[in-house]
Amino acid sequence: MVGKVYLVGAGPGDPDLITVKGLRCLKQADVILYDRLVNPELLENAKEGAQLVYCGKLPHYHTMKQETINHFLVKYAKKGYNVVRLKGGDPFVFGRGGEEAEECAKHNVPFEIVPGITAGIAASAYAGIPVTHRTLSKSFAFITGHQAGDACADHQWAHLAKGVDTICVYMGVSHLSTITKQLISNGKSPQTPIALIHWGTLSDQRTVTGTLESIEEVVKTEQITNPSMIVIGEVVNLHNNLNWFQEEIIPNIPAANR
């Protein structure tokens, strides 16, 4: 008897932001394969005897290769177990959930997708930055910072610079210089507001703001590292008034340039 695989989004970090359905799957799972950015508090909901398998990945270092994760999902399900693949954010937003679902389908393993709240929306909201706004932003894009080093993606920068109001960049801190330079060279104003939200939705969340031309120095001074969500666009200016979650960190930048 074959079990079932549930690809569950754990949300952006705050354990309260997992969905009701995601939590129910977690409580019923026989095996839980979980990522590095999953809040450990969520694992306390695992039933007694559930097997916990760490699949965490760091930049340039993978505890477990994606192919191995795919293999384990199929292997445990074919033993008759209910398997939860617990992923930070949403499984289908830069989470390789599509690859894992494909592997299940390839081996005739039943699976289900349980969406989660992605960091591009949640971290922004916790920093008081709406990704859309009736007068400031009628469109937004989610991109991966890794495309900053991808020559095949160079043509996309012109579309992002001129055709999207708000840009949310995942995994982009190490590529920040390339991101800002590409946007400016493709027509985005150097004075465009930008924010970096470090450990979004958690108690130690930090937010720094600046402009495309100033943010590199800000990030260096404030020592902002991964994991951080980058948000670019006029909606960042709302951070000052809508920052409901914590005290903001604003560097010594003239107000007109924030």
What domains can be seen in the chain, in order of their start residue? 4-114 (3.40.1010.10), 119-257 (3.30.950.10)
Residues 6+ apart with CB under 8 A from 99: 66, 70
pTM for the model stands at 0.90
Return d(Cα 53, Cα 221) in angstroms, integer: 37
CA 133 and chain centroid, separation? 21
* Active site (annotated) includes residue 16: no
**Is residue 178 classed as helix, strand or coil in its secondary structure?**
helix
pLDDT at 1: 85
Cβ–Cβ < 8 Å for 170, 100: no
Residue 99 CB coordination number (10 Å)? 12
Which among 133, 135, 192 has a CA at the least distance from the CA of 160? 192
Give the pLDDT of the chain (258 residues) as one tens digit per residue.
899 999 999 999 999 999 999 999 999 999 999 999 999 999 999 999 999 999 986 665 567 899 999 999 999 999 999 999 999 999 999 999 999 999 999 999 999 999 999 999 999 999 999 999 999 999 999 999 876 666 666 778 999 999 999 999 999 999 999 999 999 999 999 999 999 999 999 999 999 999 999 999 999 999 999 999 999 999 999 999 999 997 544 444 443 333
CA 204 and chain centroid, separation? 17
Return d(Cα 122, Cα 132) in angstroms, integer: 13
pLDDT at 152: 62
**Measured between alpha carbons, how far is residue 191 from residues 55, 85, 187 in Å?**
40, 41, 11
Burial class (CB in 10 A: 0-12, 13-18, 19+), 101: buried
Which among 127, 128, 131, 120 has a CA at the least distance from the CA of 233? 131
Beta bridge partners of 8: 86, 114
Residue that has been written with the tokens 């008081």 in this structure: 128
Which of 35, 87, 188, 229 is an active site residue? 35
Pairing between β-strand 228-232 and β-strand 193-198 as defined by DSSP bridges: antiparallel
Using CA atoms in the order 47, 50, 55, 56, what is the torsion angle rounded to 10 degrees?
40
Helix axes 176-185, 156-163, angle to 10 degrees: 70
pLDDT at 64: 86
Which of 57, 75, 78, 181 is an active site residue? 57
Which among 190, 198, 173, 211 has a CA at the least distance from the CA of 248? 198
**Is residue 34 classed as helix, strand or coil in its secondary structure?**
strand
pLDDT at 85: 98
* Active site (annotated) includes residue 57: yes
Which of 14, 30, 87, 171 is an active site residue? 171
